[in-house]
A and B are shown apart, each in its own frame.
Chain A
Amino acid sequence: MKKQIKEVVGNYIVEPTPNAVAKGVSLCDSHPREIWRLRRHAFKLAYWPTGPNGDFGEPDIDYYDLKALRAHRISALRIDEKINGFNNVRVIFFRSNTPIYGEPLPRIWLLDTFQKKSRRYTPHQQKALLAVKKLICIRHYNGDQNA
């Protein structure tokens, strides 16, 4: 993180949660090359556009909102490259609007990462993802769930 702040790129600071780190490492079976492959895709989210019309002009960030969690700004990044041999890897992220005090940019928080096996996100998955976001807001945004 210190490094990212020092060399600010893009529009957001991308920060993984411990859950995302642990799940990512597990998915990659601890192979450094695969972990970095996954990271280099996920950290592209730093270039998430901030324009008023949300115009991407960007063919490379392939994402969708989780319908039931759209109001919470929780979305999924599709990764179109095999990660440790797995297809359909998703990185779930929460896009904050407010920079943390002292930081130049708002953060995109990586909540989770996994191989998507079914079409729908179960209500339990959605609750668990929302809980990760809630904890972030409690710890970093004084409990403001609209941060």
Chain B
Amino acid sequence: MSPAPAGRIRVAVTGLGIVSSLGADRERTWSAMLAGRDGLGPLSGLELPLEAAQIAGEVPLAAGRHQTRCEAMAVQALAEALDGLVPSGDPRRIGVFQGAGTSGLPAAEAYLAARLAGRPHPATEAAFQNPCTVTDALARRLGARGPRATVMNACSSSLLALGQAWERIAAGELDLAVAGGAETLCITTYAGFSSLKAVDAARCRPFSRDRAGLNLGEGAVQILLEPLDRARDRGAVILAEVMGYGASMDAHHPTAPHPEGEGAARAMALALRVAGLEPAEVDLVSAHGTATPANDGAECKAIRRALGSAADRVSVTSSKSQFGHTLGAAGAFGAATAILGLRDQVVSPTLRLEEPDPECDLDCTPLTARVRMIRAALVNAFAFGGNNVSLALRRWEGR
């Protein structure tokens, strides 16, 4: 591996909090993933009686007082990521970077539904609940007065937010950053993906020959990043090292990926270049892997384009087979999958991958977890608007 450019500060992952349909915390979620448990089930939290598809990855967490469910999940994941750490030092050097897709939408949905039914409904919540509300709430919890960003790049939002946090720490601007995403199921996204015929009525099957679409999910992932030296000085447990990110646009179609994965491959190649990693060092790709017919084939082609012959020995996995597609939070879920894989040297499985699609001709880790050496990982998140982000992570080996 070539060294990081002179002047760039190395960035450590020192905390990770997860709230998912598989568990209320990181280790319960991770053990369930490795055991091949399924976080998808019959949809119960939303009433959509006329929709054909009724499967989702739901989190049994209620909203707190003066708090949306989205904020409640984000705050719970933050508390776990901090693991008792009380941030000290200059609050202007603590940043919060969040990716969002729909947070705030349930308030607008409730308002509109009430008005259409002729019921009065206060407008205040709909006016003041938007994705920034979650970012602001996390910043208040942290006492952060540093940079704050709410990225709305649809399904690549939270991975780009992680990239931004890395960028700021690597440039020496921050001592601590929290990055991630939180998302709740809502009517608009469920009905919207259904209208596009992108939702599978059964449990989704990424990379399978008979894949028929995605399932939606919800949850939150928050990741704590800090300068590596600072993390070592305070004796923090280092879960992985963030090496860099790449981003690109397809300029091809509003919703469909480039069929040859051209833009996605450029994002991955850029992430590798920024990270100073060679394709042969990448052992894991935590894929976007939505299980839509268009995505998975294009993504596998993109991995081949970016990694070349090294693609033949890389392990690919899709956590969406376990949580569903958590939209704005999906990139952070993918990153969590890679971080824990790097920590434990194990690849979580892609569930229900009984018969791989010949178009997806990579090792997509079917059915069961696999112990293997993982030196570096790429995390992919792609989105409407032809938006591609790839994040490079490396195993922390103590030096």
A binds B: no
Binding site for B on A (CB under 8 A): none
